[in-house]
Structure 1
Amino acid sequence: MMGFLTLHPRAFGLDLSDLSLKVAQLEKKRQGFRLVSYGGGELAEGVIEGGEIKDEEKLAASIQKALKQVKGKKIHTRYVVAALPEERAFVQVIQIPRMKREEMMVAVRFQAENFIPYPIDTLYIDSAVIPPVHNHLDHLDVLVASLPRAIVDSYMSALEKAGLVPAALEIDAIALTRAVVGKGVSPIPILLVDVGKVRTKLSIFSGYSVRFTTSLSLSSQQFTEAVARTLHVDEEKAEEFKRQYGLYVPEDALGQEVFRAIVPVANDFIEQISKYLEYYETHLPHQHLGKSQTTIKKVMLCGGGANLKGFPEFLMRSLKVEVVIGDPWVNILPRNAQELPLLPFQESLSYSCALGLALRGAQRGKSYD
């Protein structure tokens, strides 16, 4: 389990991004989990920029406000599992000989100096051994993640100012996969595309682990802005048109205008996704998935931007791979669930990371409250 701080109380999940925050809390049931609390709020511009907290006091106040306004049960615990920004992190899978845990930590730090462009003493470094899907290995595959100490310390400080106790801090890309990758394992490599309002985050997942992460400047907001510019309407009306028509080609003139406006942005997504599909083939062959799994044949859309009508089909036609919408409930609800969650599916897509964090929080030990 990757985390830059780990205690063992039951906790809620808190996903923080540049312009918004999301809160979710799960309770363990006999089978699966139940969502008991959720909520969110917007963050003022300049509070967080590029994953770096610029105003801890304002962020703390926004967190407190969101916690008071959650839907469902009131959140009583002060313990939180919070997201750390992928765009500030370095994630790498390394191979080392089999050795004891203490020796492994020394080897990890030594190898980290080769791929992290910052002094090691300015970073927090965490690692986890990845079990192979196939083959008995004569070495260890180790997932190594690091973030600048200044970034992590700032998140710790803001959470404490909000009256919270961090039970764990975790890179958001890892939390996302906990939510959408069924049982936490995939026998085939998957490219996860988390389309947010400000940026899009890409993660390659295979076997039992994330293998690669990166951030793109592309976002769902760019679709809205394209519609606003082309149709000469404000962003509120542009958002309405975008949601109504999306990337389906309708018969009416307005729908066709919306389609033409957002196609260039969709093509930018295709160009960037294609680049990382190719990257996998040339840079990440060491996956122990069998000879047939040398290419990515599945793309999973996540985040609020995945709700854009026709987006999966548009990508599929150009990329020639399967494109699906990630299900953030796959590891929460039992297969035969009769009870509907508090959060509707479309809205839950923007809570995928928060639900992954909440899932980790619900799997911890007994509450200290």
Structure 2
Amino acid sequence: MLEFLTLHPNAFGLDISDMSLKFVYLKKSARGVHVASFGEFPIPEGFIAQGEIKKEEELAALIKKSLRTPQGEKISTKHVVASLPEEQAFLQVIQLPKMGVKELQGAASFEAENYIPYPLETVYVDSEFVEPVKDHLDHADVLLASLPKTIVDSYVKVFEKAGLLVQALEIESLAVARALVPQGVSLAPLLLVDFGATRTSVLVFVGHSMRFTASIPVASHQFTAAISKALGVNFAKAEELKKAYGLKQRGKSEGGKVFESLVPSLVDLVEQVKKYMEYYASHATHQHLLKEERTIQKVLLTGGGANLPGLLEFLESELNTKASIGDAWVNIASKPFGKLPSLPFEESLRYATALGLALRGLDSTHD
């Protein structure tokens, strides 16, 4: 059958982490793209641990239940683009001699065993040509990605049990970058910091691709736990205080005590982020012409934890780098469309991964 006669159903995006699942269904119209439906449901403790599914049947049932009650219209497709856990993934940009894209894919598969720290028979490997920022390279950059087969197969099994048709699977950081990087291009190195519930992901994006990613075990729940311990309140009250005060107050007031309780964890986070920024700068000489292009030029914050009051200013000062809150609508809401998304901007930060996956679900209609 000719390609243009083949149907490519629209797919929704499904982001699954240890503690919650989020989904977004995007639709196109003559005036642009809009959010048709979305939702978020907590995942009970013990269902998933560090990205590894422990209770397949229960998770599949939870997915089915959550998709029956979306905010917005009913999801009219079973096709899904879903996330795979960042902490289980290995990603690296490698250099190969210049050649055609098909030849590069073959060469990357051949070279994979020299880079991936696991036996190749135990992992799935994918590769993608990285388009250069400038036409100055004497080699080709290729992004290698791999995950354990046991992890991927487990997620596929759960989605099938939930009655879904898997159109694509993608590592979380790739989806986040698709949502937040304007038009998918950044001429200067950009650091994305994704504050999740149990971990914070950092990734460097430059040109047309992600270059580096890492996971830091300091995140929103640790912040809340620190407040709970320092002020002697329960977790729910600590969460309330965190959202109310954040890093905005000093001194002996309640807000000042919240600030003091958060500082140790945040200092730990900052030191680890700095190390990754320095690592990138020292390993980027092969892909940039100018020294200033090897350092991070801007930091974008995303994830639910990015809403912590005062966090943006704190990180900008500590990292000595311009920072801003990411705009999860930058590649979705077109100005001519004029319709505000049904998902509030503050909440959209938590949905960045799901939005990026949903964007791929839209793009797949044109593959």
Q: TM-score, normalised by structure 2?
A: 0.94
- The equivalent of 1:325 in structure 2 is 325
- The equivalent of 2:207 in structure 1 is 207
Q: 1:290 to 1:41 in 2, by over 3 A?
A: same
CA offsets 1:38-84 (integer angstroms, 9 cap, x no match): 00101111111111111111110111111011100101211000001
Query: 2: CA distance between counterparts of 1:272 and 1:149?
Result: 30
After TM superposition, list the pairs within 5 Å mapping 1:138-153 onto structure 2: 138-153=138-153
After TM superposition, list the pairs within 5 Å mapping 1:32-51 onto structure 2: 32-51=32-51
3-state SS of paired residue (2:350): helix
- The equivalent of 2:111 in structure 1 is 111
Query: 2: CA distance between counterparts of 1:310 and 1:31?
Result: 37
- The equivalent of 2:4 in structure 1 is none
Q: TM-score, normalised by structure 1?
A: 0.94
Query: 1: CA distance between counterparts of 2:126 and 2:335?
Result: 33
* Alignment-mate amino acid for residue 90 of structure 2: F
* Alignment-mate amino acid for residue 215 of structure 2: S
- The equivalent of 1:4 in structure 2 is none
Give the deviation of 1:31 after TM superposition. 4.4
Backbone CA RMSD of aligned residues: 1.7
Q: 1:252 to 1:347 in 2, by over 3 A?
A: farther
CA offsets 1:306-343 (integer angstroms, 9 cap, x no match): 00000010111111101111111000011355211111
3-state SS of paired residue (2:272): helix
* Alignment-mate amino acid for residue 242 of structure 2: K
Question: Quick check: 1:56–1:158 contact (8 Å CA) kept in 2?
Answer: yes
Pair 1:197-2:197 in alignment = yes
Give the deviation of 1:344 after TM superposition. 0.6
- The equivalent of 1:17 in structure 2 is 17
Give the deviation of 1:213 after TM superposition. 1.0
After TM superposition, list the pairs within 5 Å mapping 1:149-298 onto structure 2: 149-249=149-249, 253-288=253-288, 290-298=290-298
Report how many aligned residue pairs link the two structures.
361
- The equivalent of 1:350 in structure 2 is 350
* Alignment-mate amino acid for residue 171 of structure 2: I
Query: 2: CA distance between counterparts of 1:126 and 1:150?
Result: 16
Question: Quick check: 1:247–1:311 contact (8 Å CA) kept in 2?
Answer: yes
Query: 2: CA distance between counterparts of 1:13 and 1:358?
Result: 4
* Alignment-mate amino acid for residue 310 of structure 2: G
Question: Quick check: 1:25–1:362 contact (8 Å CA) kept in 2?
Answer: no
Query: 1: CA distance between counterparts of 2:47 and 2:71?
Result: 24
Question: Quick check: 2:191–2:205 contact (8 Å CA) kept in 1?
Answer: yes
Question: Quick check: 2:199–2:216 contact (8 Å CA) kept in 1?
Answer: yes
3-state SS of paired residue (1:363): helix
Question: Quick check: 1:206–1:287 contact (8 Å CA) kept in 2?
Answer: no
Q: 1:64 to 1:100 in 2, by over 3 A?
A: same
Give the deviation of 1:98 after TM superposition. 2.4
Percent identical across equivalent pairs? Answer: 52
